[in-house]
Amino acid sequence: MKTILYFIFLLTLQQTFGQEKTSYKYLETVKFYGVSLSSGNVDGTPYYKVNGKDVEKSRYNTFFYSWNKFRKCCPCILKTYDENDTLISESIQCTDAIVGYYKSFYSNGNIKSIKHYKENTTGSWKDLCNRDLCNVPHGTWTFFNEHGDSLYTEYWKDGNFIRQVPEQDNVEMWNAELLYNGLDVKTTEIEISQINQIKVIPKFKNKNIQCDITVTIEISAIGYRQINHKISMQNLNKLNIIELMKENGMPSDTKANFSLLILGNGDFVRRAPLKIKKN
């Protein structure tokens, strides 16, 4: 009897090791393929591609059907695989919004990182991003090498970075504040001509702050080609937005959407829609 009980104890340990705590109950596990898909017809002959490579229709459908399951995942435990059925990540998501733990994996199966995002405890799954419940870092993030050894840990709270232990040597820009007259552009209406007066305040994870920060002004409007104008952070105040629009054939009184894309050393940091005052 003791031998049987000991075996059950070991089995229980194996089943629970690596599981992350969550407040959700009875979540369905969904298998998803993180691949790009395309299909079409050339001279009457259909074609099917996965990650740019020709495949049979049956194989294409395997990946395609996983997208249908992805769209219904809210919430679920989403296991994402590559085209060779290698596990890439496991996370709690509502479609593309992470609302719990996130685990990424090396190709050898070992864990690469364990991250935690804010959970949705409201019971409502509508408009998550507008309610600050969409991919909000919250809790402990731990990173590992390919052998399973812990490298470093990060601590987050409500989307804000707290600290990194031990501090890493590489540059890591985790966010950028965008202020107009000291006010967050997320909630402040401005004139088109005032966009160049926005101050970009970078946020770094450690003392290494040598970073090439660029700002791309994105302007889109129905009936016009989108404008994407990239400049250095230091030159934003020199840019004449109205002249930029005219040069690209878009009148300044056009009903358009404006946003700023911030990159640090070429890596995505933030995309911020702007609230433009109506004429």
Cβ-based neighbour number of residue 210 at 10 Å: 7
Per-residue pLDDT of the chain (279 residues; tens, 9 = 90+): 444 433 333 333 333 335 677 889 899 999 999 999 999 999 889 999 999 999 999 999 999 999 999 999 999 999 999 999 999 999 999 999 999 999 999 999 999 999 999 999 999 999 999 899 999 999 999 999 999 999 999 999 999 999 999 999 999 999 999 999 999 999 999 999 999 999 999 999 999 999 999 999 999 999 999 999 999 999 999 999 999 999 999 999 999 999 999 999 999 999 999 999 986
C-alpha to C-alpha distance for 176 and 185, rounded to whole angstroms: 12
Residue 132 falls in which region: left (phi positive, over 0), alpha (psi -120 to 50) or beta: left
pTM for this predicted structure: 0.81
177 by Cβ neighbours in 10 Å (0-12 / 13-18 / 19+) ranks as: middle
Domain boundaries, the chain: 26-166, 171-279
Report pLDDT for 278.
80
Q: Counting every residue, how long is the chain?
A: 279
Report pLDDT for 19.
60
61 by Cβ neighbours in 10 Å (0-12 / 13-18 / 19+) ranks as: middle
Report pLDDT for 201.
97
Tokens of 40: 């079409």
Per DSSP, the residues of 47-101 read: EEEETTEE--HHHHHHHHHHHHHHHT-SSEEEEEE-TTS-EEEEEEEETTEEEEE
- The closest alpha carbon to 225, from 254, 247, 253, 250, belongs to 250
Q: Count Cα atoms within 13 angstroms, Cβ side, for 80.
A: 20
C-alpha to C-alpha distance for 149 and 81, rounded to whole angstroms: 23
Report pLDDT for 23.
84
